[in-house]
Chain A
């Protein structure tokens, strides 16, 4: 007879699960072969991978040419990558036509920049405010002096025509972020302002810049800036695209910061006002520190995008890393089909590693911030 009332006498034994529901075999059954269609997909792609992957790996390693003085070897042996080309051209890819004797200046500038960035981004670093001050105010001046030269300090002037390669890409991206962040904050505050004209100007600027391609901004800066300024102030050929990049990045940065300001909630504003803080103090001490921390992942993503966008400055005559690679490929000493493919693949690996690395860091920061908020 079925039980209406029941009291347990002894606890049930803890049984291990049946073999088909846990362990590697069960995992494979559930994730790879859960249905006929799924099994077909698994088999198909596995076959493809088994066929392609060894070929690609061999192309990049065992069949590659690692050392040569010109393209002849690579032209003969077309089965593998021509890494010898990249190795031979590495100096040009790093520095462009920057004079040999002065390249130490580029290295110093990059090293200082790297130290400052690590200081800023390392979540537990001490006195990060000092790092920020150094990075955003002192470093730009220092870098310009180092890279361009100054007759006062006995550093020979190096015209920006000679600059090229990786350091130009890094420099462009760094300048872009350093200057677009404060500008973006101003624009974001302006867009949320209660003063109608301020808001109008901010909106017009942001929507204008976001609505047009970066190339047109660069063309505009390149062609129009010399026209709008008096002859004596003719801006340097590198300064023009830099200005364009800063403008472009600032508009997108403004939208990120605005998102952060919005998500902060009215409570913070009201508490600050209730404490008697005026606008500047409220923004500087309460609102912006929180908002900026919130959007650090967004800012980092902007930086990744900016780093990829620096490839466009070759349209206005500056030699970034990709353009340097393009030039290197055209060298008749090294001409050949595998050289071209190798060059582009290497460039791809370079950009991917930098950007993916930054993306992982950004995700890491996001996780830490999420913990802090809850």
Chain B
């Protein structure tokens, strides 16, 4: 080869951009080849074992029972409907656990910073123990050792003959709306509107005249007081359906199955320990000079927290906090171990076993969690962009 052409080829190969392109093309080709091989094998194996390759199973009758379903689910429901039941059960756990874990976590996080030595030490013990214990162990303990050891329905533990505890669950009185419930609902709505209005008016008045009004007290009194007064005047808004022993079981009332209770207790107690550490770190990260400057200006402790400390701490707390909320959703999948009918237990468990459509089922299940994760991540990004502290 003519040396000039050879030199040109080597300079071209040594060009960074050319190399980058070559590496990437090779990588893409490699991954494409592996993927193609995998798919090819999968199709062959699935055909050989008689595994369905489409989504036809979605409309086939499931034929299994689910002991907690928020939507209609009968013996004739399909696998697709079972999916929705499972999904709603997962979301139910999230909706219950997120507020509870947040409350408990904030309480313990603040307790960690308490000037009372005993309280802060106890909170420290709580977070240390729970962050180093597997969640599954907590769930198994609560489910097997505590809830399943409760007596049978015929020998239920009862509180005042209206609340019953046995190994089938916790039975609370189920509120059934009466005719007067309309008044109650109206009172609640009115109270909310008036409270919001009062808040707005108080703020307007402070802008104009500087005078402050006891907003929190009034709002709370309104939201609690008005519905109570209206109920007393118009009549009880709810009648209560109490569980009664019928045969070997209790019928009626609001039944909280032990699986749900164990999962909620375990998740809340576990996640609260992590949230407590996040809250503590966030509050500590606000420089001490901020509270000194606020004190020097004459702000008392309550105003100082509300106007200066908490707004700054929340900026630091929110990202890891949402990460913990996502963990609650992901950890709820441990329902598989105690039989709570969540998405994984129903769909990636029972449905997968019955239909053998592993690829489709897993793809759908993972897609659900990915969508939830993505949505939360986007919301967090939006929040960060809006509320980040502005720097040069």
Contact = CB atoms under 8 A, between A and B. Distances in A.
Contact, chains A and B (beta carbon distance below 8 A): yes
A133 to B, nearest CB: 28
A219 B45 contact: no
A231 B27 CA distance: 27
Contacts of A141: none
A26 B116 CA distance: 13
Contact of A211 (B24, B122, B369): B369
Interface in B143-195: 144-145, 149
Nearest to B332: A213
B251 interface: no
A38 B141 contact: no
A341 interface: yes
A201 B41 contact: no
A198 interface: yes
Contacts of B330: 212-214
Given A31-B116, A216-B344, A227-B41, A322 B24 contact: no
A213 B331 contact: yes
A198 B27 contact: yes
B373 A210 contact: yes
A322 B134 contact: yes
Nearest to B344: A215
Interface in B323-378: 330-331, 333-334, 336-337, 344, 348, 352, 358-359, 362, 365-366, 369-370, 372-374
A124 interface: no
B12 interface: no
A104 interface: no
Contacts of A42: 116, 118-119
Interface in A242-285: none
Contact of A308 (B135, B337, B366, B370): B135
Nearest to B37: A228
Contact of A41 (B45, B118, B137, B374): B118
A31 B264 CA distance: 35
A140 interface: no
Given A34-B115, A311-B136, A227 B359 contact: yes
A212 B24 contact: no
B246 interface: no
Interface stretch (A81-89, A95-103, A156-164, A351-359): A351-359
B201 to A, nearest CB: 33
A344 B140 contact: yes
B314 interface: no
A348 B362 contact: no
Nearest to A353: B132
A157 B118 CA distance: 56
B188 to A, nearest CB: 33
A344 B145 contact: yes
B133 interface: yes
B137 A341 contact: no
B46 interface: yes
Nearest to B374: A211
A220 B362 contact: yes
A220 B366 contact: yes
Contact of A227 (B20, B27, B46, B365): B46
Nearest to A355: B132
A344 B137 CA distance: 7
Contact of A216 (B28, B41, B117, B369): B369
A31 B115 CA distance: 6
A220 B129 CA distance: 32
A214 B333 CA distance: 9
B116 A38 contact: yes
Find the residue from A30, A197, A215, A226 having the highest chain B CB count within 10 A: A215
Contacts of B344: 213, 215-216, 219
B196 interface: no
A51 interface: no
A196 B28 CA distance: 11
A14 B178 CA distance: 78
A230 interface: yes
A123 interface: no
Contacts of B23: 195, 198
A189 to B, nearest CB: 13
B362 A226 contact: no
B119 A311 contact: no
B96 interface: no
Nearest to A222: B358
Interface in A140-196: 194-196
A224 interface: yes
A296 interface: no
A329 B149 CA distance: 14
A51 B141 CA distance: 23
A336 to B, nearest CB: 11
B141 A229 contact: no
B38 interface: yes
Find the residue from A31, A216, A231, A337 having the highest chain B CB count within 10 A: A216
Contacts of A214: 330, 333
B144 A340 contact: yes
Contact of A359 (B28, B118, B132, B359): B132
Nearest to B356: A223
B337 A315 contact: yes
Nearest to B46: A227
A312 interface: yes
Given A213-B331, A215-B334, A224-B362, 18 more contacts: A208-B366, A215-B336, A216-B348, A216-B365, A216-B366, A220-B362, A223-B362, A226-B45, A227-B41, A231-B45, A308-B135, A311-B137, A315-B337, A322-B134, A337-B145, A344-B141, A344-B145, A352-B133
Interface of B: 20, 23-24, 27-28, 31, 38-39, 41-42, 45-46, 51, 114-119, 122, 128-129, 132-137, 140-141, 144-145, 149, 330-331, 333-334, 336-337, 344, 348, 352, 358-359, 362, 365-366, 369-370, 372-374
21 contacts: A31-B117, A38-B116, A41-B116, A42-B118, A195-B20, A212-B330, A219-B348, A224-B359, A227-B51, A227-B359, A228-B39, A229-B41, A231-B45, A308-B133, A315-B336, A315-B337, A322-B134, A344-B144, A348-B133, A348-B141, A351-B133
